[in-house]
Amino acid sequence: MRLAFSTLGLPARPLPEVLDLAREHGYQGVELRCDPEEPVHPGLSRAGRAEVAERCAAAGVAVLTLAGYPRVCAPGDDAPVLAELRALIDLARDVGAPHVRVFPGGGDSSAAEADATGARRLRALAPYAAGAGVRILLETHDSHRTGADVARLLDLIDHPSVGALWDVMHPWLGGEEPADTLAALTGRLGYVQVKDIASREDTAPLALGAGALPLGEVLALLTEAGWDGWLCWEYEKRWHPRAPELAGLLAPGREHLLRLLAYAA
């Protein structure tokens, strides 16, 4: 399995510094948070997009995904959501990212209403994503926090350019066993976000291995299933400013994942 980290855990910093961190600490890829305050965002010029692609290629660090914020199941008009997602797909195509991340965001809608809304929007843009060589990944999050929730929506779409991102925290918070999450997302899984937290009541980010999330079980299940994709460490310091800096945790985090993988093998 290949390892990446998310820039969500870092203060906004120039892309070359992010790539240097990845190379220095042995990560093959980065998940780029896609927001106007970040160096990579949909407002980037054509020349800026080309520069991002060139810098990443020169560094030998893959852009695993653009972590955007379209909420595909949110109530309201389709047009703004589709425009936001289309712009994210275009940016991913231009910088060479194979994935874009979206949230469900169903809010107060019923499960059936949220599923119908998300399926309609994702069906509308699935062919566009396919033409761009980009896969849309729906994260296990908020209104669709479990693998079963995400699979239920994806069943309504059934398109290879729409898949799932397994954030290991949210299904666990929702009471779903890792084996059940993997079973629900098998054949749809784009990659896996790893992280650690103290408990269901305290979700502030911790160093990998310092908390309660069943990372060893997750990696053992993935290994047993023959899955050989990306693991991406999402360290949510941006929402928890008192958490330690990610940069100092990257090397021991990588070593912890490698130990778990060796044990699973």
Euclidean distance between CA atoms 264 and 262, whole angstroms: 5
Cα torsion for 43, 101, 10, 259, to the nearest 10°? -150
Question: What are the structural domain ranges in the chain?
Answer: 2-264
Alpha-carbon distances of 54 from 49, 51, 68, rounded to whole Å = 9, 5, 21
**End-to-end alpha carbon distance in the chain:** 11
Residue 265's pLDDT band (boundaries 50, 70, 90)?
confident
CA 261 to chain centre: 20
77-132 pLDDT, tens digit per residue, is 999 999 999 999 999 999 999 999 999 999 999 999 999 999 999 999 999 999 99
Nearest to 40 by CA among 102, 101, 92: 92
161-196 pLDDT, tens digit per residue, is 999 999 999 999 999 999 999 999 999 999 999 999
Q: Which amino acid is at 48?
A: G
191-237 pLDDT, tens digit per residue, is 999 999 999 999 999 999 999 999 999 999 999 999 999 999 999 99
Q: 2-264 adopts what CATH topology?
A: TIM Barrel (3.20.20)
Q: What is the pTM of this model?
A: 0.98
